[in-house]
């Protein structure tokens, strides 16, 4: 597998690109990242037409041209035309993986990977419970070792707090942030917990200010955005995880630890997000955060490894197939 060439194709959004990178790395590959920006009209039409080679990269995008890789993993609207082109122009030699609903028939790709809250199903569609990512036990252990000295003063149990923020369907309001901070403070007072809090770019300065003010004087570290991102270190050192509901990736990464995961509801939501959270609650992985701590166990969520195994299986089957059998 190490000898395979691999491209990761995306629009450049970190959360989406990381899903592709996580899969490539799980396969033991060192991918070339191609960030695609299509020109009109291909930008608007890419999900709906089999364009073959009839698309063009826009200014600022990476070129999509032969020699074609053995494996191409893409996500986002703009990755569809390059995936179609590579599969066609390579004579089917390039194995194409589309992550998330492509909005055209999955038969146009070798494998389509969708979360179970999407409705797409088919013989070459693999359904996951969460988002793919690059969080592994080895990465968590290494990060925990790096960050342990600077967090040694925090008491146990230690709680990693992953705070997102506003997106297209959710809003993190100052009122919700204040309630969250007060409940986190309760963990310190009632359970003797130490807090490791990492806001995101979407959290916003006003909400960060609320967190810092209400946790002042508590055994809590709130990352200030300077130096190495402690996200993996916090997950690796945590006994419990509290995460806001606005990011499928953050919840999936938290659930990959096998540690109790509490989810904080924000204002808003959508059917897809609700279905995602309902599924993990039914699986016994996540619970609502109320300011209390309970312990439970579950098999760590490991969708990335599962998809990597399926890609290996299908690649091997395709290479053994007679010429022209596709």
CATH architecture of 6-129+303-320: 3-Layer(aba) Sandwich (3.40)
- Asked if 226 and 192 count as a contact pair (C-beta separation under 8 A), the reply is no
Q: What are phi and psi of 47, to 5 degrees?
A: -75, -10
List Cβ neighbours of 4 (8 Å cut-off, separation of 6 or more): 27, 29, 69, 70, 71, 315
4-23 pLDDT tens trace? 999 999 988 888 899 999 99
- Asked if 280 and 251 count as a contact pair (C-beta separation under 8 A), the reply is yes
Q: Pairing state of beta strands 6-10 and 71-75?
A: parallel
Higher confidence at residue 212 or residue 39?
Answer: 212
**pTM of the shown model:** 0.88
First to last CA, the chain: 21
Which residue intervals of the chain bear CATH 3.40.50.2000? 137-288
182/190 Cα distance (integer angstroms): 12
The CATH code of the domain at 137-288 is: 3.40.50.2000
87-146 pLDDT tens trace? 999 999 999 999 999 989 999 999 999 999 888 899 999 999 999 999 999 999 999 999
Is the pLDDT score of 56 beyond 60? no
Least confident of 42-46, 133-137, 299-303: 42-46
141-151 pLDDT tens trace? 999 999 999 99
145/24 Cα distance (integer angstroms): 25
Is the pLDDT score of 52 beyond 50? no
What is the overall mean pLDDT for the chain? 90
């Amino acid at each position: 597998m190490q000898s395979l060439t691999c491209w990761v194709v995306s629009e450049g959004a970190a959360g989406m690109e990381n899903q592709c990178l996580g899969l490539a790395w799980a396969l033991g590959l060192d991918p070339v990242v191609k960030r695609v920006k299509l020109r009109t009209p291909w930008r608007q039409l890419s999900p709906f037409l089999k364009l073959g080679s009839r698309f063009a990269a826009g200014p600022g995008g990476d070129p999509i041209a032969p020699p074609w890789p053995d494996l191409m993993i893409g996500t986002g609207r703009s990755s569809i035309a390059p995936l179609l082109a590579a599969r066609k122009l390579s004579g089917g030699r390039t194995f194409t993986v589309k992550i998330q609903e492509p909005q055209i028939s999955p038969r146009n790709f070798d494998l389509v990977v969708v979360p179970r809250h999407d409705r797409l199903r088919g013989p070459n569609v693999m359904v996951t419970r969460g988002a793919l990512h690059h969080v592994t036990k080895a990465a968590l252990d290494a990060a925990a070792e790096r960050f342990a000295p600077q967090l040694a003063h925090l008491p146990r149990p230690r709680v990693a707090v992953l705070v997102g923020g506003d997106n297209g369907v959710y809003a993190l309001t100052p009122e919700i942030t204040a309630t969250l901070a007060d409940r986190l403070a309760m963990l310190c007072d009632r359970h003797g917990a130490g807090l490791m809090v990492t806001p995101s770019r979407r959290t916003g300065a006003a909400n960060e200010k609320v967190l810092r003010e209400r946790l002042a004087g508590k055994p809590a570290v709130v990352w200030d955005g300077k130096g190495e991102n402690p996200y993996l270190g916090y997950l690796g050192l945590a006994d419990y995880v509290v995460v806001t509901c606005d990011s499928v990736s953050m919840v999936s990464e938290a659930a990959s630890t096998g540690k109790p995961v509490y989810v904080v509801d924000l204002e808003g939501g959508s059917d897809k997000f609700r279905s995602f959270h309902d599924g993990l609650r039914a699986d016994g992985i996540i619970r609502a955060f109320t300011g209390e701590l309970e312990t439970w166990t579950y098999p760590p969520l490991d969708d990335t490894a599962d998809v990597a195994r399926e890609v290996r299986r299908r690649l091997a089957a395709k290479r053994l197939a007679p010429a022209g059998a596709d």
